Amino acid sequence: MKIYTERVRKLINPFFYTQKWPEFSFLDQWPSTAEIDCEIGFWDGTFLLDQAKKNPQKNYLGIEIRHQSLSTTTQYAANYKNIALVHGHAATLFEKWVPASVFSNIYIFFPDPWGKGRHLKRRLINQPFFELCVKVLKPQGKIWIQTDDLDYAEAIHKLLGQVFPKSFVTYSQDPWEHYPTFWKKKKILEGKQIHSFQVELRSN
């Protein structure tokens, strides 16, 4: 496992900066033909670790902005050769350091909804971010999103209809119900509905 602890952080109080990362080279540790998936905001690493264990032929990049989450997952992932962890802001990483056509799947489960009006601009999911996802995904690559926040779900649905009008799916049932991550278990116990979306890139 490779860990990149140099922080690339943006738009998170009390910080507002983008720090240059001189050597972001997670691709160097894996064969150029290796299939790579990316999870943004892996929290306690439940999903990331389970996928890496079940699919040893694939490689997984986890991006997390919370230092405590990175520290916790690092302990559990120490013996995994197919995991790399990054402490940073996904949009900044995708824009400046991740090359084109790298990932087969991008997973975004329960991103911070930033519910207050003045904080909406801090939401990860917006049109510029989707454009960055298109850049770093392979052809036919997929984006998987889950949220329990109805307002965020409605905003995501509207945005997907604008950016990917013919290639997104809204699920009435949770396609990842067998992966009870920290936030999913918490929200289900609270009686929240889980909203699930999937996008598959198409050539036309």
Burial class (CB in 10 A: 0-12, 13-18, 19+), 125: buried
CA–CA distance, 133 with 29 (Å, rounded to integer)? 22
CA–CA distance, 160 with 183 (Å, rounded to integer)? 23
Q: Quick one: tokens of 91?
A: 């949009």
The enclosing H or E element of 85 equals: strand 83-88
Give strand pairing partners of 107. 39, 144
**Which residues touch 109 (CB under 8 Å, ≥6 apart)?**
39, 41, 47, 144, 145, 146, 176, 181, 183, 184
Catalytic site includes residue 112: yes
Catalytic residue among 37, 112, 149, 174: 112
Coil vs helix vs strand at 133: helix
Residue 41 is classified by DSSP as -
Catalytic residue ranges: 112
